[in-house]
Amino acid sequence: MVSVILGTQWGDEGKGKIVDLLAEKSDFVVRFHGGNNAGHTIYSGNKKYPLHLIPSGILNPNSKCVIANGVIVDLEVLVSEIEMFFSDGIEFKNRFFISDRCHLILPYHKALDLAYENARGEKKLGTTARGIGPCYADKVSYNGIRIYELKDWDLFSEKFVFQSEMKNKILDSFGVAPLNTERELERLAELREIVLPFITDTYQLLQKALSENKKILMEGAQAVMLDLDFSPYPFCTGSNTIPGAINTGAGIPIQKIGSISGIVKAYTSRVGSGPFPTELKDKLGDDLREKGKEFGTTTGRPRRVGWLDLEAVKFACEVSGVTEIIITKIDILSGLEKIKACIGYELDGKPIPYSSCGYLELEKLTPVFKEFSGWTEDIMQVKSFADLPKTCQEYVKFIEDFLDITVKLISTGPKREEFLEIRN
């Protein structure tokens, strides 16, 4: 009854649209890790909704949306998303829930994220500056503040003031102006009023849903290649992004997981620093970025783009136990004479698997490419696999054979109806 959507690359694979599509068949859509570093765009007709925190199923009136305990929450962002929907008349009173166990991203986390990045100078990691790393660091060093604590304002205020003043000392050591604790607290008091009605014990909610055999869709954020443990650290995000995080981040036992859909973008993109073996630094890369609108939903930053890296995707599928593949943005490759995909790595003339590479190896190695003939046809309206151009079919078939996992769905455009189902 539990199905999972995961990005198999460095994020921005187009998960939001797929979750939105699958949410129609789901009773619950749940986020279980990460924060508002995620950015998903969903559409209702021509109306575009950029989302960073609220699960992508929110446009489906029959789905309940849950921000489970593994997510870290910036109240300012959450409230702006709630208000964006309310101002469009989209109500979700009894179908949006936030775990009281979630940790809060507080103003000093964002200030620290920036201060650390600035201190790294040339070696900055390119974080989204949303306070993700510092917030998770506070969580594991017992300095975090949970949403739970918002229930008792005096207790919350005391903790916030203590933490804020401690963080001001750190900021001062970086030469950064201190935060105005009192003003931040006043703002938090306003935000608290708006979010309190949505706060609940989501563990109980989800256990009940499991016992009633409800369909639960787990919405992965970021992607497997940014996993805190399985990425070339420190070029990662602050949370585990693989399905193990479903157990810790939502309390759902792993035996309950039925299917794990791995989203594979037909080419690769990444934001921020870090190794990228198949990166295209030429005009072709610029063209793909423009055509694929590869600019961050969260930060607006231009994304780095490159060919599909099947060596990395194979690892991502393996470590996550992906049971089916969904290919996205294949339409962006239309019009290219030749398409390439990386099918392995070589270091000093010898093959090396992705999992054995740290960032030093990934920066030095040589990707081994396979070349495919492209296609010129516009495929956005194509509704069956057989109607895709032959060369496009060959590219998809190769991905399927290489990964040895069934391709279930192909997304051929940004709109909800632009997809073709290969297997039901």
DSSP 76-139: HHHHHHHHHHHHTT---GGGEEEETTPEEP-HHHHHHHHHHHHHHGGG-----SSSHHHHHHHH
Q: How far is the CB of 235 from ligand IMP (least distance, A)?
A: 6
Residue type, 135: C
For 391, the token pair is 């060369």
Q: Which is nearer to ligand IMP, 31 or 130 (CB)?
A: 130
Q: Which is nearer to ligand IMP, 132 or 288 (CB)?
A: 132
> Is 401 one of the catalytic residues?
no
- Figure out which of the listed residues 38, 98, 263, 333 binds ligand IMP, where binding follows CB under 6 A: 38
Q: Are residues 8 and 262 in contact, defined by beta-carbon separation less than 8 angstroms?
A: yes
Q: How far is the CB of 240 from ligand IMP (least distance, A)?
A: 12
Q: Does 132 bind ligand IMP (CB under 6 A)?
A: yes
Q: Are residues 134 and 140 in contact, defined by beta-carbon separation less than 8 angstroms?
A: no
Q: Does 134 bind ligand IMP (CB under 6 A)?
A: no
Q: Which is nearer to ligand IMP, 2 or 263 (CB)?
A: 263
- Figure out which of the listed residues 21, 216, 271, 403 binds ligand IMP, where binding follows CB under 6 A: 271
Q: How far is the CB of 275 from ligand IMP (least distance, A)?
A: 11
Q: Does 39 bind ligand IMP (CB under 6 A)?
A: yes
Q: Does 15 bind ligand IMP (CB under 6 A)?
A: no
Q: Does 74 bind ligand IMP (CB under 6 A)?
A: no
> Is 103 one of the catalytic residues?
no
Q: Does 164 bind ligand IMP (CB under 6 A)?
A: no
Give the closest residue to 136 by CA, choosing from 161, 169, 98, 105: 105
Beta bridge partners of 41: 50
Q: Does 37 bind ligand IMP (CB under 6 A)?
A: yes
DSSP 176: P
DSSP 165: H
Question: According to CB under 6 A, which residues from 200 to 229 bind ligand IMP?
Answer: 221-222, 226
Q: How far is the CB of 296 from ligand IMP (least distance, A)?
A: 7
The site string for ligand IMP over 310-329 (x = CB under 6 A, - otherwise) reads: --------------------
Residue with tokens 């999992």: 355
Q: Are residues 129 and 117 in contact, defined by beta-carbon separation less than 8 angstroms?
A: yes
* Size of the chain, expressed as the number of residues it contains: 424
* 153-173 vs 181-195: helix crossing angle, rounded to 10: 140
Query: Of 40, 52, 103, 109, which is the active-site residue?
Result: 40
Residue type, 234: P
Q: How far is the CB of 279 from ligand IMP (least distance, A)?
A: 14
H or E segment at 40? strand 40-44
CA distance 219 to 294: 21
Q: Are residues 12 and 198 in contact, defined by beta-carbon separation less than 8 angstroms?
A: no
User: Which residues sit at the interface with ligand IMP, rule CB under 6 A?
Assistant: 10-12, 37-39, 125-128, 130, 132-133, 221-222, 226, 237-238, 271-272
User: Active-site residues: which are they?
Assistant: 12, 40
